[in-house]
């Protein structure tokens, strides 16, 4: 078990917990899978995770059905699930994963997954994927500089429309702006 493979395995598990809570995976499906895995065979565990991660890696919708979740799952690009190695775990560890999955993962900053992925990849793998974590303030500054001037005038009009809604105007222009 290499440290990179182990880290990627854990990151895939954590990503599934997050994805379920923000409804990128069907609500409750991964938690139910972990709950069942505590009493099923290691082969069921291996097959279930492998099937899920392969489905998440497929762009073609016809290949994204996950049997154990009884659901069609979304495609996630970026190669996190391209070589999804699954490790057998003792039942008590699966129980710990279940307890973690029961927590609310919605408030986890998604960028942390990029940081974790970057840390476990070798330099060659990072170069191949173009994987480099960029902190949120840098991205916000770049987006603001690129699109800010274009959108500021439009945003000001929307804000004015909202103010019109709060204190109703006879023309009703504010409601029209928000609907457009």
Q: Which tens digits make up the pLDDT trace of 75-127?
A: 887 777 887 789 999 999 999 999 999 999 888 877 776 666 666 566 776 66
Say what percent of the chain tops pLDDT 70: 75
Confidence band, pLDDT 50/70/90 cuts, at residue 179? low
Q: Spell out the long-range contacts of 90-95 with Cβ–Cβ below 8 A and sequence spacing 24 or more.
A: 91/38, 91/39, 94/34, 94/37, 94/38, 94/45, 95/38
**Helix (H) / strand (E) containing 72:** strand 71-72
The pLDDT tens digits of the residues spanning 33-60 come to: 999 999 999 999 999 999 999 999 888 8
5 alpha-carbon distance from chain centroid = 19
Q: What is the pLDDT of residue 51?
A: 93
Q: What is the pLDDT of residue 124?
A: 72
Q: How many residues does the chain have?
A: 180
179 alpha-carbon distance from chain centroid = 29
Q: What is the pTM of this model?
A: 0.64
Between 15 and 145, name the one with better pLDDT.
Answer: 15
């Amino acid at each position: 078990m290499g440290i990179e493979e182990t880290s990627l395995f854990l990151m895939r598990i954590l990503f599934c917990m997050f994805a379920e809570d923000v409804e990128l995976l069907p609500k409750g499906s991964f938690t139910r899978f972990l709950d069942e895995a505590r009493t099923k065979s290691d082969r069921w565990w291996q097959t279930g995770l492998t099937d899920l991660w392969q489905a998440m890696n497929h762009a073609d919708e016809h290949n994204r059905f996950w049997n154990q979740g009884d659901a069609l799952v979304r495609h996630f690009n970026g190669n996190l699930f391209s070589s999804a190695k699954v490790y057998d775990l003792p039942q008590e560890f699966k129980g710990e994963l279940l307890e973690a999955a029961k927590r609310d993962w919605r408030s986890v900053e998604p960028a942390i997954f990029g940081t974790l992925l970057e840390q476990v990849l070798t330099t060659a793998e990072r170069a191949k994927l173009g994987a480099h974590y960029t902190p949120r303030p840098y991205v916000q500054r770049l987006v603001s500089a690129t699109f800010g001037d274009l959108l500021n005038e439009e945003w000001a009009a929307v804000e004015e429309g909202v103010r019109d809604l709060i204190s109703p105007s006879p023309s009703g222009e504010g409601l029209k702006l928000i609907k457009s």
